[in-house]
Amino acid sequence: MDSVKLNFRKRILNGFFDVIALKYIKENGSLAGYDFMMWIHKRYGVMLSSGTVYTKIHSLDRKELIRGKWGERKKVYALTKKGEAFLKSILTDPASEQFLKLLEKPL
């Protein structure tokens, strides 16, 4: 893949990380940073740095959109009521819905 396409994909994923992560949690029940990084890589062909992923996850946690709990060896995040409401408001907007359908397709 050429660098222009790769950079474009990174920009999309960085810009919409919050929505992608919240939707991922809603569909999968929880999110662990490393597992999410691998999912992004497999689905979109982009390897986001752990620093990027964990910084953005912590930002969602600080905004109280997700809440983390320590599992066996990793911290696992789940949606909060505030996160569910935030995601619902985005998913019920027709323009957002159309854009997210585009994101659901691997780039």
Helical segments of 16-92, H only: 17-28, 33-44, 50-62, 81-91
- Cβ atoms of 43 and 37 within 8 Å: the answer is no
The 3-state DSSP class for residue 66 equals: strand
**What pLDDT, in 10s, does the model give residues 68-92?**
999 888 999 999 999 999 999 998 8
What integer pLDDT is reported at residue 13 of this predicted model?
87
- Residues 6 or more apart whose Cβ sits within 8 Å of residue 78: 25, 29, 30, 31, 66, 67, 69
**What pLDDT, in 10s, does the model give residues 29-79?**
999 999 999 999 998 888 999 999 999 999 999 999 999 999 888 999 999
What integer pLDDT is reported at residue 1 of this predicted model?
63
**CB half-sphere exposure, 13, CA atoms < 13 A:** 24
Query: Quick one: fold of 3-104?
Result: Arc Repressor Mutant, subunit A (1.10.10)
Where are the domains positioned within the chain? 3-104
